[in-house]
Amino acid sequence: MLFRKSPDFALVLFLILISGALSVTPAQQKKSIILATTTSTEDSGLLDVLIPVFERSSGYIVKTISVGSGQALKMGEKGEADVLLSHSPDAERRLVERGFAINRRVVMHNDFVIVGPSADPAGIRNSGSAAEAFSSIARQKALFYSRSDSSGTHALEMKLWQSAGVNPEGEPWYRQTGLGMGQTLNVTAEKKGYTLSDRGTYLSLKRTLGLDTLFEGDPQLLNIYHVMEVNPARWPGVNHTGAKAFADFMVSKEAQKIIRTFGVEKFGSALFFPDAGRKDMERF
Amino acid sequence: MDLIAEGLRKAFELIVSMDREVLGITWLSLKVSGIATLISVGIGISLGMIIALTSFPGKKIVISAINTGMGLPPVVVGLFVTVFLWRNGPFGFLDLLYTPSAMIIAQVIIATPIVMGLSVAALQNLPPKLRLQILSLGATRWQMVWIMIREARLPFMAAVMAGFGGVISEIGASIMVGGNIRGYSRVLTTATVMETGRGNFDVAFALSIILLLLVFSVNYLFTMIQQRERPR
Amino acid sequence: MSVPEVLLAAEDIRVELGGVAVLELPSFALHESEVLSVVGPNGSGKSTLLLTLACLLRPSAGHISYRGNVLVSHDAVFRFRRRISMVFQEPLLFDTTVYKNVASGLRIRGLSRNETRDRVAKYLKCFHCEHLAQRSARKLSGGESQRISLARAFAVEPEILLLDEPFSALDPPTRHSLMHDLEAMVRETKTTTIMVTHLESEALSMSSRILVLNEGRVVQTGTPSQVMSRPSNQFVARFVGMENILEGRVISRERDGLSVAVSGRVLHSAGDAQPDEIIECCIRPENVTIDNPDAAGAGNTNRFSGTVTHIYSSGPFVKVSLDCGFHLTALVTREAFSDLRLSEGTQVSASFRPSSVHVIRRSKAELERLKS
């Protein structure tokens, strides 16, 4: 009689409240695109400019998930994203070869720079190549901060260590942050170490960092961004129309013009160089 | 030092000028965590009530499980919710990943054990015969429940505050299941982390101060309600 | 005179706790306007009985009926509970004002605001607590809290009032003044009442009937004087304060009573039993008189010489243990104690009237047990 439980009460409340939760999400769900991209594009602020332009002209809502390039490509591979924007050419090509992504097109590039304290304790300023700069750092056991987050930047860094013939893994001067580019730069500045950064992120943070560009200009340091659509044949659930619209937009004249001028006003020079349609970039 | 001074100045500026984006982020934080808290209060108090007021085999195990859940790491919750809501996951058809709803779901999972655990404790702290006294006064089951809630209102309010405080300041789950999408699922904590990453310490400062103010005002409001109508 | 109606009845009640029976009640009836005290030591099942009768505890067997209707359905139980009121040992007041506490039962019943105000005022006055109305119930003394709890119980004007050791936690003066007010209220409103207590004085003063519980069973029920003077077994005898319980054999049965052999001495009792029967003779210590061995009255019935073995202080009295061939305890006033210059080893003579010797005959079950 009086000790009967009332699960009905809890259940009713639960259902009412859950439906309340669902009602918060706007109804135009279906018209959204999930863009998996690298932290560098997000942190530089470029997407904050590009995406509203695209959303206005196309009517799509872009959900930007900014993670390391490695994770972004993984999301594409698993069909959790519709369109990918990344800078890890080797991994991207493999993804296309395995049939998970299609229509890979070059969007833009900037380059990587090796930054460090202006005192340059490892003396890399006059190195002949990026690999040489890296081996100087290793020789001098100067502090080096690695993102170690399977991002495009990390992938390139590993490649450079390989060319320098150094295995930094486990060395006391080799520190792994596991963080995004911006935060890794902050840590590097704080500890007066060296790191490899894309120019865009570095420039956007430069005024607060106190780190100098110590090495640049090696063709190996090119940082090339490609856009790809996730293969709808592999993952029927993806929003391919939207993905294609976004990819087309990224290589369109309008977007390319925005990329060319982005950052000029604020940093004195552009952060990215538009490359859409350039035949000579096809080798990447 | 410059950075701190400038950061604080900018923070003040952003708050005073009611920057639209900052306002939107603040409102979303409040909305997501507010709704999540409401839902967890609904579930937590009603289930807590049932658990505290009935006896059943394994009750101690259930209570221990709830108390463990009170310390559920948000990133673990975030990971599980993400896996479940993936397009190709079991609830992918709901298309909820990277939406405020997903953040609410994750936050409900984080806050419910907190609210429930504290509710169970609150009810168990009432005199054991109070329930019999209320029933003997002729109360229906609902009246009894209502009076019990009123009697435990101070610890219940503390439970609500703990739940809200837990989710509004939580980052791990929000960034995983919400994606920190600008103007859509970006809340104070995720925005703070992002702005820190971008080196915009001033904005990050502003957002943290707003977060603190928000938590403070909400707690102040609850405390007011809690202390109201306390006769001399 | 018409027989009062049975308000509340119970049949074949059995309450188990963790598989052990804590209460067994083959039959029980509570009549209209009756004031019943349930007494017994701690753990005898008194509170369990009260909770069961209030339908707040479901018995594992048996049923309760109210005015002849068996209380089974949730609805019937609920309607029944609206006709009763209960006060526990702890006041269990709500965390709000005194006024709202007294009003709580009325609010639960949905009484109008005006009616509620009048009732609350009336019952606060009955318990002399008008001045506390706007105080927080959390800031009252123990006595005040229990007064408010009683006012709250009376405010709903119950048909049956159930009191579970309402005064046990209070100090004696507070307890007496509250007892007095409660007694007046119960008499005035003629409310049918069941009061659980482990204090015989509470039970004596206001009840019309006493029910003695031990180990979950009813051992005796009767009017206070019946239970007090004629306990039906050793347990009740001890419980109601008959400290002297002497086993003896009936020598002869006369017109005005019995002669009983106790440890080689002969006692006279006004009770009744068969010759040669083994009985218990119970004497209240306050009925034992002590005087000097050479005082007048030698040769009276039930006058025994003995030696003082122990002296205990007992409030305004002194308890004196004697060895008269059998063990006897007497209660004397402090004045008498100093007049007699009593100390351990003093020779005295003790006497008591035959009518003060209550005889308990062994029950059949007990006899069976002894035989085997």
Hey, what domains does chain B have and what are their CATH numbers? 2-227 (1.10.3720.10)
Q: What is the pTM of this model?
A: 0.77
Q: Which residues contact A56 (CB under 8 A, 6 or more apart)?
A: none
**Of A181-185, B37-41, B110-114, C64-68, where does mean pLDDT reach its minimum?**
A181-185
Q: Please indicate if any CB of chain A lies within 8 Å of the CB of B39.
A: yes
Across the range C138-144, mean pLDDT stands at 92
Q: Is C139 on the interface with B (CB under 8 A)?
A: yes
Domain boundaries, chain A: 31-109+223-281, 111-221
Burial label, C364 (beta-carbon count in 10 A; 0-12, 13-18, 19+): exposed
At residue A7, the pLDDT reads: 44
Write the DSSP assignment of B3-43 as a string of letters.
Answer: HHHHHHHHHHHHHHTT-HHHHHHHHHHHHHHHHHHHHHHHH
Residue of B nearest to A45 (CA): B198
Is the Cβ pair B151, C51 closer than 8 Å?
no
Q: What is the pLDDT of residue B1?
A: 53
| 8 Å CB contact of C86 and B136 | yes
User: Which two tokens mark B159?
Assistant: 């439970």
Domains A31-109+223-281 and A111-221 share a fold: yes
Taking only residues 74 to 113 of chain C, the set having a beta carbon closer than 8 angstroms to any beta carbon of chain A reads 74, 77
Return the number of other C-beta atoms located less than 10 Å from residue B183's C-beta.
15
Picking from A1, A3, A4, A6 by the largest number of C CB atoms within 10 A of its own CB, the best residue to mutate is A1
State the architecture of A31-109+223-281 in CATH terms: 3-Layer(aba) Sandwich (3.40)
Residue A24 has pLDDT above 60, yes or no: no
Cβ proximity of B205 and B193 under 8 Å: no
Chain A residue closest in CA terms to B7: A208
Q: What is the dihedral sign for C-alpha B152, B157, B162, B164?
A: positive
How many Å apart are CA C40 and CA C197, to the nearest integer?
7
* Mean of pLDDT values over C110-133: 94
Per-window interface: B 106-125 vs A, CB < 8 A: 108
**B180, closest residue in chain A (CA to CA):** A65
Q: Which chains touch A (3 or more CB pairs under 8 A)?
A: B, C
A106-125 pLDDT per residue, tens: 999 989 999 999 999 999 99
Out of B46, B92, B182, name the one closest to residue A48 (CB). B182
> Does any CB of chain A come closer than 8 Å to the CB of residue C58?
yes
Q: pLDDT tens digit string along B56-106?
A: 899 999 999 999 999 899 999 999 999 899 888 888 888 888 899 999 999
The pLDDT assigned to C255 comes to 84
Residues of chain C contacting residue A3, judged by C-beta atoms under 8 Å apart: 58
- CB-based contact, C162 to chain B, within 8 Å: yes
Whether A174 and A90 have beta carbons less than 8 Å apart is answered as: no
Q: C343 pLDDT exceeds 60?
A: yes
Q: Which of B133, B139, B229 sits opposite C92 (nearest CB)?
A: B133
Which residue in chain C has the smallest CA separation from B147?
C94
What pLDDT shows up at residue A141?
93
| pLDDT tens for each residue of B199-221 | 777 788 888 988 998 889 988 88
Contact with chain B for residue A79, Cβ under 8 A? yes
Interchain CB contact of A5 with C (< 8 Å)? no
Pairing status of strand C347-351 against strand C289-291: antiparallel
> Does the pLDDT value for residue C235 go beyond 90?
no
The CA distance from C303 to C283, in Å, is: 14
Helix/strand/coil (H/E/C) assignment for every residue in C21-73: EEEEEEEEEEECCCEEEEECCCCCCHHHHHHHHCCCCCCCEEEEEECCEECCC
Pairwise CB contact (< 8 Å): A5 & B54: yes
Is there a contact between A21 and B141 if contact means CB atoms under 8 Å apart?
no
For every residue of chain A, DSSP letters joined together read -TT---HHHHHHHHHHHHHHHHTTS-GGGGGEEEEEEEHHHHHHTHHHHHHHHHHHHH--EEEEEEE-HHHHHHHHHTT--SEEEE--HHHHHHHHHTTSEEEEEEEEEEEEEEEE-TT-TT--TT-SSHHHHHHHHHHHT--EEE--SS-HHHHHHHHHHHHHT---TT-TTEEE--S-HHHHHHHHHHHT-EEEEEHHHHHHHHHHH--EEEE---GGGEEEEEEEEE-TTT-TTS-HHHHHHHHHHHTSHHHHHHHHHTTHHHHSS-S-EE-TT-GGGTT-
CA distance A104 to C207: 97
Residue with the larger pLDDT of the pair C18 and C64: C64
- Identify the pLDDT of residue A122: 92
User: pLDDT at residue A27 above 80?
Assistant: no
- For residue C297, pLDDT over 70 is answered with no
Quickly state the pLDDT bin for A29 (edges 50, 70, 90).
very low
A21 → closest Cβ in B35, B86, B98: B35
Whether C181 has its CB under 8 Å from any CB of chain B: the answer is no
Q: How many C-beta atoms surround the C-beta of residue A170 within 10 A?
A: 6
Per-residue model confidence (pLDDT) at position B230: 55
For the domain spanning A111-221, the CATH number is 3.40.190.10
Mean pLDDT along residues A168-197? 90
Look at C77 and A2 and tell me if their CB atoms are within 8 Å.
Answer: yes
Asked if the model's pLDDT at residue A55 lies above 80, the reply is: yes
Q: Quick check: B43 pLDDT over 50?
A: yes
Reported residue count of chain A is 284
pLDDT at B21: 85
Q: What is the arithmetic mean of pLDDT over C215-237?
A: 87
pLDDT of residue A5: 38
Which own/partner pairs from C220-224 qualify as long-range (CB within 8 Å, at least 24 positions apart)? C224/C37
| Chain B residues whose C-beta sits inside 8 Å of any chain C C-beta | 127, 129-130, 132-133, 135-140, 143, 147, 150-151, 153, 229-232
Q: Which pLDDT value is given to residue A14?
A: 55
Q: Delineate the domains of chain C, giving CATH numbers in brackets.
A: 6-235 (3.40.50.300), 242-371 (2.40.50.100)
Instruction: Tell me the chain B residues in contact with residue C88 when contact means C-beta distances shorter than 8 Å.
Output: 129, 132-133
Contact A10 B43 (CB under 8 A): yes
CB contact (8 A) between residue B101 and residue A22: yes
